[in-house]
Amino acid sequence: MSKRENVAVFQDKRFQYNYRIATYSASEIDILTLEKNLYPVILNTIKSSPDMKLFRENEVTLVHSYRVKMGNYFFSMEFRPKDYQ
């Protein structure tokens, strides 16, 4: 459904994953349902994945930002240290 396009690093320990939802337009997606289903899955990954250990140890804010197939911004989810520790 989505493909990671790139990442961005910002000041204040902020790391952003940028995704494109390639197969749907914004009008075809229920954003509330999508976020409701994605948020706990991503949060669990941040909390438990060995690959995320460095982020946890350094209390990095992680952002997952989504664009639709035409490249327009769709929505973002933010995970702060207080969310995953």
Number of domain units in the chain: 1
Predicted local confidence at residue 31, as pLDDT: 84
| 6 vs 64, higher pLDDT | 64
Question: pLDDT (tens digit, 9 = 90+) per residue, 1-41?
Answer: 667 788 999 999 999 999 988 777 778 888 889 899 999 99
* Mean pLDDT value of segment 71-83: 92
Residue found under tokens 């995970």: 79
Q: Per-residue pLDDT for 82 more than 80?
A: yes
Domain span holding position 56: 2-84
Q: How far apart are the first and last CA of the chain?
A: 28
8 Å CB contact between 78 and 62: yes
